[in-house]
Structure 1
Amino acid sequence: MENFLDLFNHQFFQHALLASLLTSLLAAMIGTYIVSRKIVFISGGITHASFGGIGLAYFLGLNPFLGAVVFAVTTSLGIEWISTRGKIREDSAIAILWSLGMALGIIFVFLTPGYTPNLMSFLFGSILSVGAIDLWILAGVLLLTTTFFILFFRPIVYTAFDPEFSKTRGLPVRWIRNIMAVLIALAIVLSIRIMGIILVLSLFTIPQNTALLFSNDFKRIIMGSVLWGITGSLIGLLTAYWLNIPGGAAIIFVLTIQFLLLKAWSIIKPSKK
């Protein structure tokens, strides 16, 4: 028990705990919007496309996360533009930009002079290496996202579920969707630091689908996603410590088990009546 409590005295674990808390709050809002719009794979598309920015940043000797942000925002806005004006289905636009980003990333990493950079932290995340600056940036984006959701909650919900009806009501659908595209991109890039490119899609999907087991209300899905996201993150971090396994993978594993158990419970429960 003493060793367990000592874990909370370590700065790296405190940072990891705060990062998982802030990320869960951010993913709850952004993920609920993504799931409601039925564009789950946009997070995977943006994540993999941002790899092109990481590769380009390495090639130019810049901060790789700066490159990831540029590519992620460009990709997210590009998906919105192509799907609305380019007369291409949204899933096709995601697939095109997903493939292009990954291809560019591989090319730029290959062309980078000197040694090949270690990309493991980008692919699988490194939650235990999160620093104070990362936390401040994460908190800033969370504050920005929360403020936007509070001020424009109803327009966000309307444009997520029925954009055509929203247009007839005079709502600025294109403006709201573009702002949300930027927020989605920022949230995803920051989550790469925690979960990695391979696992980040789950963070914006699993807690939301767990919350959907109990309610279809947009606001309640956000609150449920916060609950299940934080619970899964905390248990996942402790599991990673006890088993000495990667924190991001442990969190996603716990979130998945959490969903499967609650899904089974929701199926079995009515039969007992």
Structure 2
Amino acid sequence: MTSADGIGQQVFTFDDYGALLDLVHNSLIVGAALGLVGGLAGVFVILRDLPFAVHGISELSFAGASAALLFGMNVVAGSVIGSLVAAGVIGVLGAKARHRNSVIGILMPFGLGLGVLFLALYKGRAANKFGLLTGQIVAVDAPQTAVLLSMSAVVLVALVVMWRPLVFASTDPEVARTRGVPVRGLSLAFMLVLGLTIALSVQVVGALLVLTLVVTPAAAAARVTASPVLLPVLSVVLAVVSMEGGILLALGSDIPISPYVTTLSFTLYGICAAIGAVRRRNWGRTAARTDAGSADTAREVTAAAS
């Protein structure tokens, strides 16, 4: 057996796959829920140009989870606290885009440094440390499932309640402000919802790769459509497919789930980008033919008139 064959068997192992499938029932449910909220929140991350904020919040989420692991607390709770603190700071101090990036640039190394410190002090299982960075959804048990689903429901309800005014405030904040929409308050509220979404996502793909669940599906959907209805729907579909596919592919392997999720998500983005490029090229040709036809008609009318 060559080394390439050995690596291939490590990455894709389907021995006793049917028996193992029953063990990830909770993981598939949680994955679908996180794909739903991540896909929806990602729409506003793209509209509001917040991918950098997602990365910054994930570092503080990692620090909170690491602190909880060190002090024997609930890791999900620690992750949520870290995310909400980071989201609140970015929302308050980074209300303007030019200030936001500076705040995020300060928070990111601080959060990562704290997380590394807490993990260095932690003397427990190495798998717990690794899971905070790369995700461990395959090991989700019933109590964790209940907690993650409850948090997902909170995020979903919050997004539904603020959806229409948030779309308005995200696409044209100045007009929204003149129409009485509380743009500043909505921005802060969304940052907190985003923080909770990131805390959930960290449990799946880890702090290092959280962008693949919150940013990539929505960015892929935006390459195909700008429809306010189709964009969130397609974003959710892509996020759920990436999540569920990643879980199923990782099931028979010792490799963490995050490489599978990120690879699927990136592949789907590439497909959507290619589709978008082809459609734009076709639209350009159609527009050029239309313009040429209009010019010919104008010349014929001018000639007939003269």
Tell me which residue corresponds to 1:198: 208
With over 3 angstroms needed to count, the CA separation of the structure-2 counterparts of 1:243 and 1:172, relative to structure 1, is: same
Residues 22 and 60 from structure 1, CA distance in 2 versus in 1: closer, same or farther, beyond 3 angstroms? Answer: same
Task: Indicate the SS of the match to 1:171.
Answer: coil
Partner of 2:48: 37
Q: 1:183 to 1:271 in 2, by over 3 A?
A: closer
Is 1:109–1:116's contact at 8 Å kept on the other side of the alignment? no
User: 1:232 maps to what in 2?
Assistant: 242
**Distance in 2 (alpha carbons) for counterparts of 1:156 and 1:231:** 26
Structure 2 residue runs without a partner (length 5+): 1-13, 286-306
Task: Give the whole-Å Cα distance in 2 for the aligned partners of 1:19 and 1:83.
Answer: 32
Q: Using the alignment, how far apart are the partners of 1:18 and 1:119 within structure 2?
A: 24
Report the equivalent of 1:144.
Answer: 154
Percent identity reads: 24
Cα-to-partner distance string for 1:139-164 (whole Å, 9 max, x where unaligned): 22232232223333211112222323
Task: Select which of 189, 207, 223 maps to 1:213.
Answer: 223
In structure 2, give the amino acid aligned to 1:42. A
**Which whole-Å CA distance do the structure 2 matches of 1:63 and 1:5 have between them?**
32
Structure-2-length-normalised TM-score: 0.79
User: Structure 1 residues 159 and 126 mapped into 2: Cα distance closer, same or farther (>3 Å)?
Assistant: same
Normalising by structure 1, what TM-score?
0.87
Runs of 5+ unmatched residues, structure 1: none
Distance in 2 of aligned mates of 1:57 and 1:270: 49
> Residue 84 of structure 1 aligns to a residue in which SS?
coil
- Say whether the 8 Å CA contact 1:110–1:116 is kept in structure 2: no
CA-atom RMSD, angstroms?
2.6
Q: Summarize the alignment of residues 180-191 of structure 1 with structure 2, pairs less than 5 Å apart.
A: 180-191=190-201
Cα 1:106–1:139, aligned 2, differ >3 Å: closer, same or farther?
same
Quote the Cα distance in structure 2 between the aligned partners of 1:29 and 1:217: 14
Check if 1:255 corresponds to 2:265.
yes
Choose which of 95, 113, 119 in structure 2 pairs with 1:84: 95
Q: Does 1:27 align with 2:49?
A: no
Between the two proteins, the alignment pairs up a number of residues equal to 269
Cα offset, 1:7, TM superposition = 4.5
Please report how far the alpha carbon of residue 221 of structure 1 lies from its aligned counterpart in structure 2 after TM superposition: 1.4
